A and B are shown apart, each in its own frame.
Chain A
Amino acid sequence: NAGVTQTPKFQVLKTGQSMTLQCAQDMNHEYMSWYRQDPGMGLRLIHYSVGAGITDQGEVPNGYNVSRSTTEDFPLRLLSAAPSQTSVYFCASSFSREGNTEAFFGQGTRLTVV
């Protein structure tokens, strides 16, 4: 069981470039989400999905797109990178049922936009 796998671990982009951050989970979780973490700001929700084909915006969605064509994968696309998107990005997944709905996080992607 790999859990939640994020790639790449590190990335440097030039302003205006686009890229996709990959996230895959092998736990058959319905819920998946993307967060960005900036110093002193905690974990801010970018987008989330409650199942294949269903996505919705979080707190800070501007500049990012997502899609969920399979249960396992939830890629995050940066359309035109800006320095303000320099951050650490975490993908997480969890079950949807009541009870213990702990989130499992990936190792993170450290993105620098220059």
Chain B
Amino acid sequence: GQQVMQIPQYQHVQEGEDFTTYCNSSTTLSNIQWYKQRPGGHPVFLIQLVKSGEVKKQKRLTFQFGEAKKNSSLHITATQTTDVGTYFCAGKTGGSYIPTFGRGTSLIVHP
């Protein structure tokens, strides 16, 4: 079945440093979504990417979808303590109803 690998599992950064998490799929995706889960909370949708090579920005967050539509990344510039949480990617193929989630990357920001 479809697999979505996400690395790293954990990332410790000092406040102000940049952060990147990577997502790779074993199959070509029709779209990829990113979610953020704060400690003790539930996943919250951040963004969806659909087009090959697409890049979208939300303030300090930059999301990319690979040319082959099999990988994606989330980059946070100048992390803040409010960025703490687990970031999940979720990839959907054309034939699936429900996206497959990666295992997530937990971001820990040290003040």
Contact = CB atoms under 8 A, between A and B. Distances in A.
A90 B43 contact: yes
Interface residues of A, number: 26
B45 A104 contact: yes
Interface stretch (B12-20, B58-66, B68-76, B101-109): B101-109
B93 interface: no
Contact of B97 (A31, A44, A100): A31
Contact of A105 (B43, B99, B102, B103): B43
Interface string A95-114: 01000111111111000000
A43 interface: yes
A43 B92 CA distance: 14
Interface in A41-64: 41-45, 48, 50, 56, 58-59
B9 A108 contact: no
A59 B88 CA distance: 17
Contacts, number: 53
Nearest to B42: A105
Of B1, B6, B97, the most chain A CB neighbours within 10 A belong to B97
Contacts of B45: 102-104
A55 to B, nearest CB: 11
A71 interface: no
A41 B42 contact: no
A33 B44 CA distance: 15
Given A31-B98, A43-B88, A101-B48, 11 more contacts: A31-B97, A33-B98, A42-B6, A42-B88, A42-B102, A45-B100, A48-B98, A50-B97, A90-B42, A92-B43, A103-B45
